[in-house]
Amino acid sequence: MRIKSLEEYHLEKENFEEKPENFWEEKAKKFVWYRKWDEVLNWDFKSANVEWFKGGKLNITENCLDRHLKNNGDRIAIKWIANNPNEKNIELSYKELHLQVCKFSNVLKSKGINKGDRICLYMPMVPELAIAVLACARIGAIHSVVFAGFSAKSLSDRINDATCKALITSDGGFRGDKITPLKSIADEALRSTPSIEFCIVLERTKSTIDMKDNRDFWWQDEMKNVNINCTPEEMNSEDKLFILYTSGSTGKPKGIVHTTAGYMIYTQYSFENVFQYQENDLYWCTADIGWITGHSYIIYGPLLAGATTVMFEGVPTYPDAGRFWKIVEENKINIFYTAPTAIRALEAKGNEYVRKYNLSSLKVLGTVGEPINEDAWNWYYNEIGNKKCPIVDTWWQTETGGIMISNLAGINKEKATFATLPLPGIKACIVDDKGAELEQNNIEGKLCVKYPWPSMARTIYGDHQRYFNTYFSAFPGKYFSGDGCFKNEEGLFRITGRVDDVIIVSGHNLGTAEIESAIDEHQNVCESAIVGYPHNIKGNGLFAFIICHQKPKKDDEINLEINNLITKHVGPIAKVDSFLYVDGLPKTRSGKIMRRILRKIASGITEDLGDTSTLLDPAVVEKIITEVKNNK
């Protein structure tokens, strides 16, 4: 299945161009199906409806687990590395993982979970999280993983949006020298989640917690006397596999829905090809399973490929900034996939942490989540890869399910800061503001995809209209990513960042609307506007322009209070880095905040702010600039 040379790469592109459905059908044949599909693809971007492999029946866990048992049952499926360097690692073979998944599937079934029920997972990075994800998939329950850094409010919002029937959590989670009190946060969330019937709690940190009779059950107890056999549920190709929430430009987070067959085919295909995975490679993706990267490239992609996937519980800087490299050396990691924010943070700590370790096992390096700047790219290439490892700069999104634009490691050309080219099978294009496709090189515009791909999101849970509006209405007939893109003279793609009101901070997607509404909860705040500005480590920092009823004094506690409100409503991942208290915000006559101007001011630009003629009151801008100068 893997593309092994540049010739094969071009051939694959040609095959796809000639017969796109045939191209994907060939890939689909490699999997175990209970019933073959009747139709490869059915699509209409005008109504945002896409179906792949209709009529087919399958189960993704049959393909992740059972399929490998006969020949590779003893191969390690998950190699888990604890937060505490002195705690023993855990290795789960495919056989053992299969067993655990079957057992937990039966636990869920015995508690009344049926196909189609939604289950929320709020867990630390422990093997049981992967086990729970796969158990849901095995019985046809739809998993909704909520990143363990989100607040009680964010958790309950997500549970309620999907009307989840059960919550799987743990007493707490280890992260560096801290413990996240997951169960007590969950308890707070569960006060306002009427759909939850029960909660299963994994013991991890042995923290003191409350267990509510008849609602809360210990994972370890439930797993004791349970049947070890579980036949996978026969799923239709288009049955929902999972929901994963992501921030939008406006309104509450969107429950992105992925379905079974297409997601399966594309995650294995992209995993094997982008990373050039070869049998017995040890692969480590440092993401959290709470994000799409963890779903597709810690769990599904690698397991579908029969690989050993490393799962790390901790953080890059604990016990010190050499932790990643120590893990690479000790485990002889071959393929390493991380985010620019981690690369920049570790670079800033100095090379002595890197040079202490032998990184010669590395063959391929990957990056994802935000644009990687040239300096970070060079450091990654020179210091981590020792100038011998190709870097795959992988552009994709929660909505795309898998990697869309990237070089294939060592196969086609790489270039610092460029994601390079769409994978064979992906028709990405750049359009101007009116939606006209810009086919020539050396242009900049908005990044779209004009033909369906198997792992694309199918809808937003409970709101198909919003799915259409968000992705298919700006440029009719095309999927719009929300990103800007430059194509150089060779036709290589470089992602320039979001063109909407989503800000990516340390690789996390933050919606301005969510943060602003948290800020507006403060009793002294009338209105606020959040924008991003360039930040050395985080990629973007958050800059808040705030109008107060009573203008705060310099030494006021208000900054802290506002950040606490954001932690409460969104989670500790979002924090305002710079505050400016202003008298007015630049608004258009239709009342929309002109963020373009605020973005410039936030990044230190006070002249040539562009066209301000549509502002209701252009004088507001002058006042803000004066405030910035006074604040220095």
> Among 610, 397, 378, 615, which residue's Cα sits nearest to residue 498?
397
**How many chain residues interact with ligand WT7 (CB under 6 A)?**
22
**498 lies in the site for ligand WT7, by CB under 6 A:** yes
Q: Does the protein bind ligand WT7 through residue 397 (CB under 6 A)?
A: yes
Toward ligand WT7, which CB reaches closer, 76 or 515?
A: 515
Q: Which long-range contacts (CB under 8 A, 24 or more apart) does 381-387 make?
A: 381/416, 383/347, 383/351, 383/354, 384/325, 384/336, 384/343, 384/354, 384/359, 385/359, 386/359, 386/360, 386/362
Candidate segments 343-351, 366-374, 438-446, 598-606, binder of ligand WT7 by CB under 6 A: 366-374
Q: One symbol per residue from 115 to 154: x for binding ligand WT7 (CB under 6 A), - otherwise; what is it? A: ----------------------------------------
The strand pair at 118-122 and 142-145 is best described as parallel
Does the N-terminal peptide bond of residue 319 adopt cis geometry, omega within 30 degrees of 0? yes
Binding mask 196-235 for ligand WT7 (x = CB under 6 A): ----------------------------------------
Which alpha helices (DSSP H) does 490-587 contain, by range? 512-519, 558-569
Query: Does residue 293 belong to the site contacting ligand WT7 (CB under 6 A)?
Result: yes
Backbone angles phi, psi at 182, to 5 degrees: -60, -45
Q: Is 467 in the site for ligand WT7 (CB under 6 A)?
A: no
Judged by CB under 6 A, does residue 369 bind ligand WT7? Answer: yes
Stretch that binds ligand WT7, among 17-25, 176-184, 196-204, 477-485 (CB under 6 A): 477-485
Cβ closer to ligand WT7: 61 or 398?
A: 398
Choose the stretch contacting ligand WT7; rule: CB under 6 A; options: 7-15, 31-39, 289-297, 552-560: 289-297
Min CB(153)–ligand WT7 separation in Å? 20
Supply the minimum distance, in Å, between the C-beta of residue 161 and ligand WT7: 17
504 binds ligand WT7 (CB under 6 A): yes
Phi, psi (rounded to 5 degrees) for 446: -105, 140
368 interacts with ligand WT7 by CB under 6 A: yes
State which residue, 202 or 391, has the beta carbon closest to ligand WT7: 391
> Between 152-161 and 182-190, two packed helices, what is the crossing angle to 10 degrees?
50
What angle (nearest 5°) sits at the alpha carbon of residue 219, between those of residues 215 and 223? 120
Between 61 and 481, CB nearer to ligand WT7 = 481
Q: How far is the CB of 271 from ligand WT7 (least distance, A)?
A: 13
Any residues with CB less than 8 A from the CB of 393 and at least 6 apart, and which? Answer: 366, 367, 368, 372, 377, 406, 407, 414, 417, 418, 419, 420
- The single residue among 78, 292, 343, 364 that binds ligand WT7, judged by CB under 6 A, is 292
Q: Does 481 participate in binding ligand WT7 (rule CB under 6 A)?
A: yes
495 near ligand WT7 (CB under 6 A): yes
* DSSP notation for 420-474: BSBPTT--EEEE-TT--B--SSSEEEEEEE-S--TTS--EETT-HHHHHHHHHSS
Nearest residue (CB) to ligand WT7, 53 versus 395: 395
Interacting span for ligand WT7 (CB under 6 A) from 53-61, 161-169, 286-294, 549-557: 286-294
Q: Which residue has the CB atom at the shortest distance from ligand WT7?
A: 398
* Span from 202-210, 291-299, 461-469, 545-553 in contact with ligand WT7 (CB under 6 A): 291-299
With respect to ligand WT7, which residue has the nearer C-beta, 369 or 571?
369
> Is 395 near ligand WT7 (CB under 6 A)?
yes
Q: Is 394 helix (H, G, I), strand (E, B) or coil?
A: strand
Report the run of H or E that residue 345 belongs to, with start and end.
Answer: helix 340-348
Build a one-symbol-per-residue string for 410-449: x at contacts with ligand WT7 by CB under 6 A, - elsewhere.
---------x------------------------------
Query: CA-to-CA distance for 223 and 110, rounded, in angstroms?
Result: 11
Alpha helix positions (H), 62-151 = 67-72, 94-110, 127-139
Which segment (178-186, 198-206, 368-376, 448-456) binds ligand WT7 by CB under 6 A? 368-376
Angstrom CA distances, 62 to 75, 294, 307, 327, 455, stand at 16, 20, 15, 31, 18
Instruction: Examine residue 571 and tell whether it contacts ligand WT7 (CB under 6 A).
Output: no
Kindly tell me which residue out of 23, 104, 277, 396 binds ligand WT7, with binding defined by CB under 6 A: 396
- Strand order in 391-394's β-sheet? 90-93, 76-81, 308-312, 282-285, 335-338, 364-368, 391-394
When the beta carbons of 480 and 581 are compared against ligand WT7, the nearer one is 480
Q: Is residue 59 at the binding interface for ligand WT7, with CB under 6 A as the rule?
A: no
Q: How far is CA 124 from CA 142, 169, 203, 229, 244, in A?
A: 19, 8, 11, 27, 16
Binding window for ligand WT7 (CB under 6 A); candidates: 158-166, 205-213, 422-430, 478-486: 478-486
In the numeric block, which tokens belong to residue 263? 């997601």
CA atoms within 13 A on the CB side of 159: 30
To the nearest whole angstrom, how small is the minimum distance from the Cβ of residue 188 to ligand WT7? 25
Residue 533 is inside which H or E element, if any? strand 525-535
Choices 1-9, 185-193, 329-337, 364-372; region in contact with ligand WT7 by CB under 6 A: 364-372
Q: Residue 594 has what DSSP assignment?
A: -
Question: Which residues 237-266 are close enough to bind ligand WT7 by CB under 6 A?
Answer: 246
Distances from the Cα of 452 to the Cαs of 20, 57, 156, 608, in angstroms? 10, 21, 33, 41
Q: Which of 161, 393, 414, 501 binds ligand WT7 (CB under 6 A)?
A: 393
Contacting positions for ligand WT7 (CB under 6 A): 246, 291-293, 368-371, 393-398, 419, 481-483, 495, 498, 504, 509
